[in-house]
Amino acid sequence: MRNTQGLTFTPLHPVIAAECKGVDISEPISSQVADVIHDAMDRYGVLVFRQGKPMTTEQQLRFTRSLGELEGLYTKIESEEGRRLETPLLSDISNLTPSNKLLPPDDRKRQFQMGNRLWHSDSSYKKIPAKYSALCAHVIPPAGGETEFADMRAAWDMLDDVTKNNIKGLVAEHSRIFSKGTLGFEFTEKERHDFAPVRQPLVRTHPRTGRHSLFLSSHAGRIVGWQLPEALMLLRELTEHATQREFVYRHTWRLGDLVMWDNRVTMHRAQQYDDLKYPRDMRRSTVTCGAPALAYTESLPDLATAA
Ligand code: OGA
Ligand code: MN
């Protein structure tokens, strides 16, 4: 437990995640409080704010903006009726149609969102990936629907030196074609074009703490210069290593919780629930990294020039 600016942080797990109290994030926060939150994110990777009631769109966007620039808009699969939420700045992480009915089994958006149950880092398929994601719980199902977070710094630290040396400097290609593809999802010609793979370092260095972390995601599906089976095997083995129980915090949601994670140092995944029977309504705001991840790898000088 620590106290600065009246905020307290109580660890929820030995290596990752803490609950933050002592600040009302539905009100504007000072830059000093924002600094304390950044420091805590650097330390814990995941912060939980239990608020008891969901934030309004305005409150959530104001809080997120006080921590950084929001991520730009990007191509999504929308339900045929269009958008459910009033602003495209919030990602609709729900199983609902724009008229708040449950999505039917064959709905494309429903099937696409199933990809959230694969371990991933948000927007790793974009040249400029996500920094923080903040997810607020509006409606939660009676059972299931937890979210798990894995610590990619601990995962890096616990690799043996031979593996560390072998993978330092590798570049992976990320695309939603790879992640959703593993679930058998089929893409239109336009989506294949829009979802062209982007390159990301396999090992990142945090710009503030200097700590290394594995940059894994279900979106990763190639390693530059490697044969495909070897690349997929390595990605699979690293993911298995990185998601061992000792590196994972599981969040059981309560109404109004806001959970914020640093996508640079964590992976996360949703847990199954009976989505054909119960609504689950979560809304996500996202802070961008601001620059490609390859720019943050000064200690790995070969990366940017890898073939
Ligand atoms: C997300 C996400 C998981 C969940 O919002 O980016 O992956 O449990 N959510 O809804
Ligand atoms: Mn996600």
Two tokens, residue 219? 């979106």
Residue 301 counted as domain residue: no
pLDDT at 4: 64
214: nearest Cα among 118, 116, 115, 124: 124
Report the alpha-carbon distance of residue 120 to residue 269 in Å, rounded.
6
Domain that holds residue 283: 2-296
* Distance, CA of 299 to CA of 212 (rounded, Å): 10
pLDDT tens readout for residues 263-293: 999 999 999 999 999 999 999 999 999 999 8
Q: What is the pLDDT of residue 167?
A: 97
Q: For 140-188, how does the pLDDT look when each residue is reduced to its tens digit (9 = 90+)? A: 999 999 999 999 999 999 999 999 999 999 999 999 999 999 999 999 9
pLDDT above 60 for 295 = no
Is 296:204 a contact under the CB 8 Å cutoff?
A: yes
The rounded Cα 49 to chain-centroid distance in angstroms is 17
Question: Is the minimum distance from the CB of 260 to ligand 1 under 6 angstroms?
Answer: no
- Here the CATH number for the domain that contains residue 101 is 3.60.130.10
**Distance in Å from the first CA to the final CA of the chain:** 47
In short, whether 134's Cβ falls inside 6 Å of ligand 1 is no
pLDDT, tens digit (0-9, with 9 covering 90-100), for 215-253: 999 999 999 999 999 999 999 999 999 999 999 999 999
- pLDDT for 304 equals 38
Distance 130 CA to ligand 2 centre (A): 10
Residue 303 in domain: no
pLDDT band for position 307 (cuts 50, 70, 90): very low
Share of the chain above pLDDT 70, in %: 92
Residue 93 lies in a domain: yes
**Residue 83 banded pLDDT, cuts 50, 70, 90:** confident
**Assigned domain for 47 exists:** yes
The answer to whether the CB of 137 is under 6 A from ligand 1 is no
The two structure tokens encoding residue 133: 């994601």
pLDDT score, position 305: 38
270 pocket-lining for ligand 1 (C-beta < 6 Å):
yes
Of the segments 32-46, 69-83, 290-304, which one has the largest average pLDDT value?
Answer: 32-46
Range with lowest mean pLDDT among 56-65, 70-79, 130-139, 277-286:
70-79
Measured in degrees and rounded to the nearest 5, phi and psi for residue 115 equal -55, -25
Burial class (CB in 10 A: 0-12, 13-18, 19+), 152: buried
Tally the domains of the chain: 1
Residue 305, in any domain of the structure: no
Report if residue 75 sits inside a domain.
yes
- Kindly give the distance from the C-alpha atom of residue 132 to the centroid of ligand 2, in angstroms, as a whole number: 11
Task: State the pLDDT at residue 294.
Answer: 80
Three-state SS for 252-284 is CCCCCCEEEEECCCEEEEECCCCCCCCCCEEEE
187 falls within a domain: yes
pLDDT tens-digit map of 1-28? 555 689 999 999 999 999 999 999 999 9
pLDDT tens digits along 251-260: 999 999 999 9
Phi, psi dihedral angles at 68 (to 5 degrees): 155, 175
Mutate to test the pocket of ligand 1, among 248, 263, 284 (most ligand atoms within 8 A of CB): 284
pLDDT score of 76 more than 80: no
Residue 286 lies in a domain: yes
